[in-house]
Amino acid sequence: MSELDGKRAIVTGAGSGIGRATAELMAEQGARVAVVDLDADAAREVAEGIGAQAIAIATDVSKAADCDNAVATAAAEFGGLDVLVNNAGIIRRSTVCEITEEDWDLVMAVNIKSVMLMSRRAIPHLKAAGGGSIVNTGSGWGIQGGGQAVSYCASKGAVVNMTRAMAIDHGPDNIRVNCVCPGDTATPMLAEEARQLGEAPGAFYADAADRPLRRIGQPRDIASAIAYLAGDGAAFVSGAVLPVDGAGTA
């Protein structure tokens, strides 16, 4: 029996990339999964590909009403919740002098405010289930700085320390909170970074692979770490910040 067998999970940003790989892997391991994404068509495609174990919920995770609806819908459909994966994220490559106030606010809303909005609604359901797991997607740039990504670095640094604070607050309710910090991963967001910087994706990916393992990550690499932290095999792991980056931050 899988460590996720019978678990009831929400994964945000699950329409593509790491979120999609996580939703698919969790379902393979026996979980029921709410595929939450801003792109309704992408969410529906992923859920249909998974099958009867999944539902799609179109959600703007920067908006409280949408997050409230996503959690309520998933909990009602599944009869409760055991796992929340706060994975949705965006990036705007710029320095502090270049970024607009609108882009700063958007990055903060999607990358960090959403963790609060989703978690505050999910935690009562996890508590009612006798405990559960929250996994937040941080970044290697939440551990160390990076160039031309000031808003992203700030938001992911906040995700890392928010994870620690949540683990302390909610541990007494048997709710574990952990953070996975991916390095560069072959997702649509990485291609979008290349576009924002005016670089060819091939050359950009080659530069990103300059790390000890000599490759960039694949979505499944990160999904495997998330699934581990979500499952019963990590029953005594909480407040952890796990780099999954081919030793990029070593």
Q: Is 249 inside any structural domain?
A: no
Q: Is 108 inside any structural domain?
A: yes
Q: Is 247 inside any structural domain?
A: no
Domain count across the chain: 1
Q: Is 205 inside any structural domain?
A: yes
- Per residue in 174-197, pLDDT (tens digit) is 999 999 999 999 999 999 999 999
Nearest Cα neighbor of 116 from 69, 157, 63, 77 is: 63
Q: Is 2 inside any structural domain?
A: no
228 carries an active-site annotation: no
Distances in Å between the Cα of 91 and the Cα atoms of 124, 133, 182 are 30, 26, 14
Q: Is 225 inside any structural domain?
A: yes
From the candidates 143, 152, 190, 243, give the one annotated as an active-site residue: 152
Give the pLDDT score at 212.
95
- Per residue in 195-215, pLDDT (tens digit) is 999 999 888 888 889 999 999
Looking at the chain, the whole-number percentage of residues with pLDDT higher than 90 is 94
220-247: average pLDDT: 98
Q: Is 246 inside any structural domain?
A: no
Domain harbouring 121, CATH code? 3.40.50.720
Determine the Cα–Cα distance for residues 137 and 224; give it in Å rounded to an integer. 13
- Per residue in 10-41, pLDDT (tens digit) is 999 999 999 999 999 999 999 999 999 999 99
Give the pLDDT score at 207.
86
Q: Is 78 inside any structural domain?
A: yes
Q: 102 is in which domain, residue-wise?
A: 8-239
Using the predicted structure, report yes or no on whether residue 1 has a pLDDT greater than 70. no
Give the pLDDT score at 9.
99
Give the pLDDT score at 203.
87
Burial 5-22 (b: 16+ CB within 10 A, else e): eebbbbbbbbbbbbbbbb
Using the predicted structure, report yes or no on whether residue 50 has a pLDDT greater than 90. yes
